[in-house]
């Protein structure tokens, strides 16, 4: 009772698991889950693999998959491989990259590792804060006599400033390669991904919107480069007993191709669903203070695979990490891509301890980005509930900050069952 003999007015607590309410979702929601395919069609293809007893070594399904991907992207060649990282490593070696290569730090670490693994120094370049893509002006400042090339990354499926990067590469005599792991089916200015630079690398990892269990590919319009990479992915064999080039084992299996072909049959359905999810996210988040949903350029084709927001901690009243902690308590396992940036991971933070001084936009964006669940496992009701959670959290920012500070919530969620060996669900 208060001094006047009346009852104290109770303060409404937010309907959040952080404050003891049941989690909004019983099952954990991941940023990327494999999209469902037509199982009967897949098993029919798989039975054909077993009937032919041809499991790998450029079987008919791999060749068909390469043809269909090349047609989808409007390129001359698709060279399918066992995963996107090996595809990137082979493309780097086939292009003769050496010395130093300019690459964004704001990317999945495989992009940098593919260079460092081959004793090539990744030189980390800052990004355009509006697009999250490598900035050609900053790249120009990093060129030295040891620079042999540039790798642009089509982050979130947003296509790089290919005009600016191409002009820079041509002016300085550099090779130009693109990591297009996010960008299957995307375009810029009416030109499909696969036609930019000298080659572009795709990923078909299990969490990509089109997967082959594990897989990758290199797209190119160069006959010479495609021939070289086909040799390199098969130990350099040109005939049964004749090796004419250094190589490794980068081949895609027939089982993986069967999965990829079956997923290709549904690719329009996947894209349409992702687009609908994007529209719902945009509408549902527009009144959440300090939470900006990233849009795509109008007129270009997109796969809408990633649902990305930036958090302004001053407007939201909460930091990105505090909002992620709230979401995790609700079983929404949102991710902090690509935090903290490759330059702050090993071995790069030891090799280049002061790299962050040249990467202010990378560090700012890495501290603000949240990637939310998307794909066929996510629907409009789920998205509206996620938006409600963020709205409730920002509406009670002071209380949330106090509880998160005490709880010390772990922000690196476990991977889905069966993916425990993958370091990140943005894996190549």
Residues 6+ apart with CB under 8 A from 17: 23, 24, 329, 330
Q: What is the CATH number of domain 267-334+373-407?
A: 3.90.1150.10
* Residue 289 buriedness (CB in 10 A; 0-12 / 13-18 / 19+): middle
Residues 6+ apart with CB under 8 A from 252: 56, 62, 65, 80, 81, 82, 212, 215, 217
What's the chain look like in SS3? Answer: CCCCCCCCCCCCCCCCHHHCCCCCCCCCEECCCCCCCCHHHHHHHHHHHHHHCCCCCCCHHHHHHHHHHHHHHCCCEEEEECCHHHHHHHHHHHCCCCCEEEEECCCCCHHHHHHHCCCCEEEEECECCCCCCECHHHHHHCCCCCEEEEEEECHHHCCCCHHHHHHHHHHHCCEEEEECCCCCCCEECCEECCCCCCEEEEECCCCCCCCCCCCEEEEECCHHHHHHHHHHCECCEEECCEECCCCCECCCCHHHHHHHHHHHCCHHHHHHHHHHHHHHHHHHHCCCCCEEECCCCCCCCCCCCCEEEEECHHHHCCCHHHHHHHHHHCCEECECCCCCCHHHCCCHHHHCCCHHHHCHHHHHHHCCEEEECCCCCCCHHHHHHHHHHHHHHHHCHHHHHHHHHHHCCCCCCCCCCCCCCCCCCCCC
- C-alpha dihedral sign at 123, 139, 371, 73: negative
Virtual torsion, Cα 401, 404, 406, 409, nearest 10 deg? -160
- pLDDT bin (cut points 50, 70, 90) of residue 1 is very low
C-alpha to C-alpha distance for 292 and 389, rounded to whole angstroms: 15
Q: Is the pLDDT of residue 41 over 80?
A: yes
Tell how strand 307-311 and strand 291-293 pair up.
antiparallel
Q: Is the pLDDT of residue 422 over 50?
A: no
Q: Can you tell me the mean pLDDT for 166-177?
A: 98
C-alpha to C-alpha distance for 44 and 392, rounded to whole angstroms: 48
- pLDDT bin (cut points 50, 70, 90) of residue 195 is very high
Q: Can you tell me the mean pLDDT for 347-367?
A: 97
Cα 341 from chain centre: 13
What are residue 229's DSSP bridge partners? none
Q: What is the CATH number of domain 39-264?
A: 3.40.640.10
Q: What is the pTM of this model?
A: 0.93
Assess contact for 101 and 93: CB atoms under 8 A. no
Q: Which pLDDT score is estimated for 14?
A: 83
Q: Is the pLDDT of residue 418 over 80?
A: no
Low-confidence winner among 11-25, 241-255, 354-368 (lowest mean pLDDT)? 11-25
Q: Is the pLDDT of residue 244 over 80?
A: yes
Q: Is the pLDDT of residue 85 over 50?
A: yes
Q: Is the pLDDT of residue 424 over 90?
A: no
At 375-410, the pLDDT tens digits run: 999 999 999 999 999 999 999 999 999 999 876 656
Instruction: Tell me the average pLDDT of the chain.
Output: 93
Sorted by where each begins, the domain ranges of the chain are 39-264, 267-334+373-407
């Amino acid at each position: 009772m208060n001094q006047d003999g009346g009852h104290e007015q109770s303060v409404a607590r937010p309907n959040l698991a952080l404050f003891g309410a049941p989690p909004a979702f019983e099952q954990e929601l991941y940023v990327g889950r494999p999209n469902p395919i037509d199982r009967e069609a897949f098993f029919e293809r798989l039975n054909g693999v077993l009937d032919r007893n041809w499991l790998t070594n450029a079987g008919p399904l791999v060749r068909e998959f390469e043809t269909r991907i090349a047609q989808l992207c409007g390129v001359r060649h698709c060279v399918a491989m066992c995963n996107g990282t090996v595809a990137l490593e082979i493309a780097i070696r086939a292009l003769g990259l050496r010395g130093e290569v300019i690459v964004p730090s704001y990317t999945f670490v495989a992009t940098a590792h593919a260079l460092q693994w081959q004793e090539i120094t990744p030189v980390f370049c800052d990004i355009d804060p509006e697009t999250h893509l490598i900035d050609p002006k900053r790249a120009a400042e990093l060129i030295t006599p040891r620079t042999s090339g540039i790798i642009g990354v089509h982050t979130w499926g947003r296509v790089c400033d290919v005009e600016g990067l191409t002009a820079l590469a041509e002016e300085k005599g550099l090779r130009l390669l693109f990591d297009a792991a996010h960008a299957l089916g995307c375009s810029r200015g009416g030109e499909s991904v696969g036609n930019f630079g000298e080659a572009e690398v795709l990923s078909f990892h299990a969490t990509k919107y089109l997967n082959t269990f594990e897989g990758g590919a290199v797209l190119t319009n160069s006959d010479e480069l495609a021939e070289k990479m086909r040799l390199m992915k098969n130990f350099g064999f040109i005939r049964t007993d004749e090796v004419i080039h250094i190589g490794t084992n980068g081949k895609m299996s027939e089982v993986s191709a069967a999965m990829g072909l079956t997923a290709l049959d549904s690719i329009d359905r996947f894209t349409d669903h992702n687009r609908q999810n994007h529209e719902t996210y945009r509408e549902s988040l527009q009144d959440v203070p300090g939470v900006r949903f990233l849009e795509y350029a109008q007129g270009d084709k997109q796969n809408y695979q990633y649902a990305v927001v930036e958090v302004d901690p001053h407007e939201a009243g909460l930091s990105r990490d505090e909002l992620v902690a709230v979401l995790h308590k609700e079983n929404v396992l949102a991710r902090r891509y690509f935090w903290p940036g490759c330059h702050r991971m090993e071995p790069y933070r030891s090799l280049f301890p002061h790299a962050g001084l040249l990467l202010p936009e990378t560090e700012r964006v890495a501290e603000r980005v949240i990637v939310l669940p998307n794909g066929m496992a996510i629907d409009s009701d789920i998205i509206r509930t996620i938006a409600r959670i963020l709205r409730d959290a920002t509406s009670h920012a002071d209380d949330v900050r106090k509880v998160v500070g005490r709880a010390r919530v772990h922000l690196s969620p476990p991977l889905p069952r069966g993916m425990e060996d993958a370091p990140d669900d943005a894996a190549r």
